[in-house]
Amino acid sequence: MMNWWDKNFASCEFGDERLSNRGYSIGKKISQGFGKALSEIFKSGSELKRAYEFSPIAKQNLARS
């Protein structure tokens, strides 16, 4: 039986094998840690940074004018 993340992320294709593997890995970790903060799911700073960089959410400039 396939895991939920396999059904939802295994077929991700980003045109680059590294990106496809990263998408699967991030999706799997987020699925396993559902409801937790990203800083709890991704233990190292580099993992957390890669997850944020991979996110489609637009970067926000929070500097005051």
> For the chain, what are the domain ranges?
4-54
Three-class SS string for 1-13? CCCHHHHHHCCCC
- The string of DSSP letters for the chain reads ---HHHHHHTT---SSHHHHHHHHHHHHHHHHTTTS-HHHHS-SHHHHHHHHHH--SPP------
Q: Return the closest-CA partner of residue 51 out of 59, 60, 41.
A: 41
pLDDT tens sequence for the chain (65 residues): 467 767 777 777 888 888 888 888 888 898 889 899 999 999 999 999 988 888 876 556 555 55
pLDDT at 4: 73
pLDDT at 36: 94
